[in-house]
């Protein structure tokens, strides 16, 4: 194998977007051939998607025990594939799956892992890596010593680009693993809501929303924008929205193209979770609210007037274009 191995997360033939970001990154690094590994039923189905990005070989482990996630068996399998193929670099997505799996592989192989990486570039035979620490209040430059080097990539940061290459060659590696001791027995997928960490646009509400029912205004704005809805922490703590909406240092760290903060003051813990956003818009009736210091654009005004006006203006813009 040598080259770079990408560990994909897939279900029913759908590969999580960060997996495609990892494939594109691996090809961009130019450190030899890129292969990918996918587990579970439907694993072969991702051959076309990853082949188009320049992945040459797709290793699939569709059968028991790999039809259900288990951190121990999956980690053993990845470690075994790495021992057989000796890639210099192994890329994961820093999702719940990758964050569970990658450090376990690191422990099995005694190989260094840089997690939740936002910057990765070739540096001769090596890679130069940056990763946010203190929830993005600082960036850390790290070097991984020895091989393989393990890296998990923060979702929504690396570009994917257009495909068009051939379908990856599919093969089934022979790996033996022990009986899994942590086995997934059920998965409940939320309705078709866009996941915040993968969303390219987010509309978030804070305490300024005043009550749960007022989030309807944000739902309407989000629908026009094609955005996901998030919140500050106190709003989720109050139960106005589910806990999964909570953005910030102790919630989800997001990196959308557009983040609209509505009735959010801009506390340091909230800002920590959004500072990777390409464009931040703040709507707040307090001109001195700290959120305006990190925003690209701000509207000072009553959100109960500004948000409906913005929804209307966006509709008019979209109808005209």
Partner 1 sequence: MKIAVLVKQVPDTATRIQLASDGSGINTAGIKWVLNPYDEFAIEEALKLRDQHSGEVVLVSFGPARVEEAIRQGLAMGADRAIWVSDDGVADVDYLGRAQILVAALSQEADWDLVLVGKQAVDDDAAQTGPLVAALLDWPQAMVVLGLTVDAAGRRITATRELEGATETVELTLPAVLGAQRGLNVPRYPTLPNIMKAKRKEVRHTSAADLGLDGAQLTADRRVVVEGYQLPPPRPEPKVLTGDPAEAAATLVKLLHNEAQIL
Ligand X SMILES: Cc1cc2nc3c(=O)[nH]c(=O)nc-3n(C[C@H](O)[C@H](O)[C@H](O)COP(=O)(O)OP(=O)(O)OC[C@H]3O[C@@H](n4cnc5c(N)ncnc54)[C@H](O)[C@@H]3O)c2cc1C
Residues 99-138, interacting with partner 1 (CB under 8 A): 99-108, 110-116, 131-138
**Applying CB under 8 A, which of residues 48, 126, 195, 220 lies at the interface with partner 1?**
195
Helical axes 96-109 vs 71-85, angle rounded to 10°: 60
For residue 176, state whether it binds partner 1 (rule: CB under 8 A).
no
Neighbours of 157 (CB within 10 A): 18
Minimum distance, C-beta of residue 212 to ligand X, in the bound complex (Å): 13
C-alpha distance across the termini of the chain, in Å: 49
Q: Which of 97, 91, 104 is nearest to 150 (CA)?
A: 91
Minimum distance, C-beta of residue 139 to partner 1, in the bound complex (Å): 5
Please answer whether residues 49 and 18 qualify as being in contact, where contact means their C-beta atoms are separated by less than 8 angstroms. Answer: no
Site residues for ligand X, 245-264, by CB under 6 A, read 248-251, 263-264
**Applying CB under 8 A, which of residues 164, 190, 211, 319 lies at the interface with partner 1?**
190
**Applying CB under 6 A, which of residues 232, 255, 277, 311 lies at the interface with ligand X?**
232
- Spatial neighbors of 6 by CB under 8 A, at least 6 apart, are 19, 22, 23, 26, 34, 35, 36, 37, 50, 55, 90, 91, 92
For residue 92, state whether it binds partner 1 (rule: CB under 8 A).
no
- Spatial neighbors of 233 by CB under 8 A, at least 6 apart, are 246, 248, 250, 251, 269, 270
For residue 131, state whether it binds ligand X (rule: CB under 6 A).
no
> Toward ligand X, which CB reaches closer, 152 or 232?
232
- Site map for ligand X, 196-225, x if CB under 6 A? ----------xxx-----------------
Residue 106 binds what, of ligand X, partner 1, none (CB under 5 to 8 Å, by partner type)? partner 1
């Amino acid at each position: 194998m040598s080259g770079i191995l990408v560990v994909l997360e897939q279900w029913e033939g759908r590969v999580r977007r960060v997996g495609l970001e990892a494939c594109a990154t691996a090809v961009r690094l130019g450190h030899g051939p890129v292969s990918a590994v996918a587990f579970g039923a439907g694993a072969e189905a991702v051959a076309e998607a990853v082949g188009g990005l320049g992945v040459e070989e797709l290793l699939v482990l569709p059968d028991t025990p790999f039809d259900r996630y288990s951190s121990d068996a999956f980690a053993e399998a990845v470690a075994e594939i790495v021992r057989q193929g000796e890639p210099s670099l192994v890329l994961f997505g820093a999702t719940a799956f990758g964050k569970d799996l990658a450090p376990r592989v690191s422990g099995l192989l005694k190989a260094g892992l840089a997690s939740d990486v936002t910057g990765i570039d070739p540096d001769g035979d090596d890679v130069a890596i940056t990763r946010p620490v203190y929830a993005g209040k600082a960036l850390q430059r790290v070097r991984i010593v020895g091989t393989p080097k393990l890296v998990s990539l923060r979702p929504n940061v690396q570009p994917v680009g257009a495909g068009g290459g051939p379908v990856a060659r599919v093969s089934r590696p022979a790996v033996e693993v022990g009986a899994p001791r942590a086995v997934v027995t059920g998965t409940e997928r939320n309705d078709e809501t866009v996941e915040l960490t993968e969303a390219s646009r987010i509309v978030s509400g804070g305490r300024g929303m005043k009550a749960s029912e007022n989030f309807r205004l944000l739902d309407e704005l989000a629908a026009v924008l094609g955005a996901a809805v998030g919140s500050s922490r106190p709003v989720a703590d109050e139960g106005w929205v589910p806990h999964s909406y909570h953005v910030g240092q102790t919630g989800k760290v997001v990196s959308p193209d557009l983040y609209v903060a509505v009735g959010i003051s801009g506390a340091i813990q909230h800002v920590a979770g959004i500072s990777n956003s390409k464009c931040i818009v703040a709507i707040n009736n307090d001109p001195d609210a700290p959120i305006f210091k990190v925003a690209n654009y701000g509207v000072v005004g009553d959100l109960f007037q500004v948000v409906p006006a913005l929804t209307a203006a966006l509709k008019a813009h979209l109808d005209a274009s």
